[in-house]
């Protein structure tokens, strides 16, 4: 399934897709997770996400912006039924080639127009993706829409102001941070993303991680169950 056709022609969106292709070609997160040093931070973020999500057995989960599937696979191992999408076809192809991808529904789509039904998932995860997303308010609205009542959204994104001074060190360790200005398109403020989440969901947690060097912003938000109003007897 490829659901990108419906929004092609939007220049800002097409620019973000080109950036996604460039990042996967030159600085894929799939390799960062396995880096002996950088992987400690990236992998730690995923472990924190898994801890926050708790028991996932029997739950339906959507990963928004899955790249080559590292995060989706970790959630599958915890018992979730996983669906995942991204705008970068080469990344999705690598994901499909992994034996661990068996049982995961994988397709190309954009977060601005998620081709899935309302109230479909117990959990939606979007980790280190919104900094690449134009029209982020629309994306968050779409993530909230596909959540079931009582479901939870987990978002992480970089504290870019703090991360930038570490780019030369990461570059020296073999991470191609020289392309960051081309692929990290937006530096969203924590307060702004929180305000967008609160338009649709109840924010349960907000924190920066790790506490000694807050490189990553975390948000956990819940889709409140609808209040049922009955006619007076």
For 135-190, how does the pLDDT look when each residue is reduced to its tens digit (9 = 90+)?
999 999 999 999 999 999 999 999 999 999 999 999 999 999 999 999 999 999 99
* 216 SS3 class: strand
pLDDT at 3 over 60: yes
Give the chain's mean pLDDT: 93
Partners of residue 64 on adjacent β-strands: 85
Distance CA 1, CA 118 (A): 19
Report the C-alpha gap between 29 and 68 in whole angstroms: 8
pLDDT tens digit sequence for 196-217 = 999 999 999 999 999 999 999 9
Q: Domain 5-222 has what CATH class?
A: alpha beta
Kindly tell me if the per-residue pLDDT of 1 is higher than 80: no
Calpha distance 112→50 (Å, rounded): 25
Domain boundaries, the chain: 5-222
- As a whole number of angstroms, the distance between CA 176 and CA 198 comes to 35
Cis upstream peptide for 210 (omega within 30°): yes
The confidence band for 233, taking pLDDT boundaries of 50, 70 and 90, is very low
Q: How many CB atoms lie within 10 A of CB 114?
A: 20
For 83-105, write each residue's pLDDT tens digit: 999 999 999 999 999 999 999 99
3-state SS assignment for residue 85: strand
Q: Which of 171, 192, 172 is nearest to 180 (CA)?
A: 171
pTM above 0.85, yes or no: yes
Helix (H, G, I), strand (E, B), or coil: what is residue 43? helix
- Report the alpha-carbon distance of residue 171 to residue 178 in Å, rounded: 7
Strands across the sheet containing 216-222: 105-108, 81-86, 60-64, 121-127, 147-158, 216-222, 202-209
Report, in this order, helix, strand and coil percent for the chain, each rounded to 5. Answer: 45, 20, 35
Residue 72 CA to residue 57 CA, distance in Å, equals 14
């Amino acid at each position: 399934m490829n659901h990108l056709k419906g929004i092609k022609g939007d220049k800002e969106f097409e620019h973000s897709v080109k950036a996604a292709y460039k990042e996967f070609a030159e600085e894929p997160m799939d390799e960062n997770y396995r880096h002996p040093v950088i992987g400690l931070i990236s992998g730690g973020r995923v472990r924190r996400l898994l801890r926050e999500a708790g028991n996932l057995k029997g739950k339906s989960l959507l990963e928004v912006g899955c790249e080559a599937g590292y995060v989706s696979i970790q959630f599958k191992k915890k018992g979730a039924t996983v669906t995942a999408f991204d705008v970068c076809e080469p990344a999705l192809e690598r994901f499909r080639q992994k034996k661990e991808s068996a049982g995961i529904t994988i397709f190309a789509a954009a977060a601005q127009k998620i081709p899935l039904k309302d109230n479909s998932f117990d959990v939606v995860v979007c980790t280190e993706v919104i900094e690449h997303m134009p029209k982020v308010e629309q994306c968050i609205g779409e993530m909230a829409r596909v959540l079931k009542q009582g479901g939870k959204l987990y978002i992480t994104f970089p504290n870019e102001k703090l991360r930038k001074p570490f780019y030369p060190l990461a570059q020296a360790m073999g991470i191609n941070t020289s392309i960051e200005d081309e692929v990290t398109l937006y530096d969203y403020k924590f307060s702004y993303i929180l305000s967008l989440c609160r338009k649709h969901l109840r924010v349960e947690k907000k924190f920066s991680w790790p506490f000694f060097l807050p490189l990553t912003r975390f948000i956990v938000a819940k889709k409140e169950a609808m209040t049922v109003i009955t006619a007076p007897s």
